[in-house]
Amino acid sequence: MTTIPNSRPQITSLEWRQFERIGAWIVLLGVFATLFGLSWDVDWHSKVGPDTFWTLPHIFVYSGAALTGFAALTVVLLCTFSPRQTGWISILSGRFHAPLGFIVAGFGAFGFLSFGLFDQWWHTIFGFDVSISSPPHLGLILSDILSMVGCALIFARGQRTHTVGISVATGLAVAFTLPFVIAIFSDFGFVLPLLGLQAVLIPLAMLFVVSSSRQPIAALLMAVTLVGFRWLAEQVFPSMTLAYANSLGFSPRDGSSLSPALPVLIPWLSLAAGVAVSALLSFWKIRKLPIIWGVLIAGLIAAPTLYSDSSLIPMQGGSVLLLIPIAFVGALSAWLGWQLGVVARHANPEPLARANP
The footprint of another protein (CB under 8 A) covers 1-2, 4-5, 8-9, 45, 48-55, 104, 107-108, 111, 115, 117-118, 120-130, 134-136, 138-139, 142-143, 145-146, 149, 211, 214, 248-255, 285, 288, 290-292, 338-340, 342-344, 346-348
Distance CA 355, CA 97 (A): 19
Q: Minimum CB separation from another protein for residue 107, in Å? A: 7
Select 212 or 310, whichever has its Cβ closest to another protein.
Answer: 212
> What does the DSSP assignment read for 134-176?
SHHHHHHHHHHHHHHHHHHHHTEETTEE-HHHHHHHHHHHHHH
Q: Minimum CB separation from another protein for residue 39, in Å? A: 18
- Burial letters 275-305, b for 16+ CB under 10 A, else e: ebbbbbbbebeeeeeeeeebbbbbbbbbbbb
Select 56 or 323, whichever has its Cβ closest to another protein.
Answer: 56
Asked if 150 contacts 108 with a C-beta cutoff of 8 angstroms, the reply is: yes
Select 245 or 269, whichever has its Cβ closest to another protein.
Answer: 245
Picking from 257, 254, 255, 263, the residue whose alpha carbon sits closest to that of residue 234 is 263
Select 26 or 342, whichever has its Cβ closest to another protein.
Answer: 342
Half-sphere exposure of 151 (CA within 13 A, CB side): 35
Q: Minimum CB separation from another protein for residue 312, in Å? A: 20
User: Which H/E stretch holds residue 276?
Assistant: helix 270-287
Distance CA 104, CA 101 (A): 5
Q: Minimum CB separation from another protein for residue 290, in Å? A: 7
User: Which H/E stretch holds residue 98?
Assistant: strand 96-98
Q: Minimum CB separation from another protein for residue 210, in Å? A: 10
Asked if 282 contacts 210 with a C-beta cutoff of 8 angstroms, the reply is: no
Select 282 or 308, whichever has its Cβ closest to another protein.
Answer: 282
Q: Minimum CB separation from another protein for residue 309, in Å? A: 26
Select 139 or 351, whichever has its Cβ closest to another protein.
Answer: 139
